[in-house]
Amino acid sequence: MVLFRRLLGDVLRTKRMRQGRTLREVSAEARVSLGYISEIERGQKEASSELLASICAALDVPLSEILAEVSDAVALEEAAMAVAVDEATAPAKGLTTTALPPGAASGGARSGDVVASAA
């Protein structure tokens, strides 16, 4: 299961660390307790829209940018979960899964795509 709060925390932590800022600095500027921001970054607490807006302002990053990055991370995790489910159920369906080698892509498939074929 994809946890939005965990992915949101990962994105916020990455933004903060790329800026070379500490939790204490962001906490003071956002006027949110250090412990609460830490819990948000670790995916242990949900951030309200007001709190998230305050953290984004402290990081000088648009909320839309944070949400877009979280959305991309959710999509990647969902895709990875779908592949894992497909690989787990393929033998029961009489299918095998194979990753295409580089340069072997044809049709709509791309290099590195996972494809299913009848056994």
| d(C-alpha 13, C-alpha 38), whole Å | 9
Return the CATH number at 13. 1.10.260.40
Q: What is the pTM of this model?
A: 0.70
Domain presence at residue 21: yes
- For residue 22, the enclosing domain spans 4-92
In which element (H, E) is residue 82 found? helix 63-89
Burial of 49 (0-12, 13-18, 19+ CB in 10 A): exposed
| d(C-alpha 103, C-alpha 17), whole Å | 38
Domain presence at residue 111: no
Domain presence at residue 71: yes
On whether the CB atoms of residues 48 and 77 are closer than 8 A, the answer is: no
Domain presence at residue 87: yes
pLDDT (tens digit, 9 = 90+) per residue, 67-117? 999 999 999 999 988 887 777 776 666 655 555 455 544 444 444 444 443
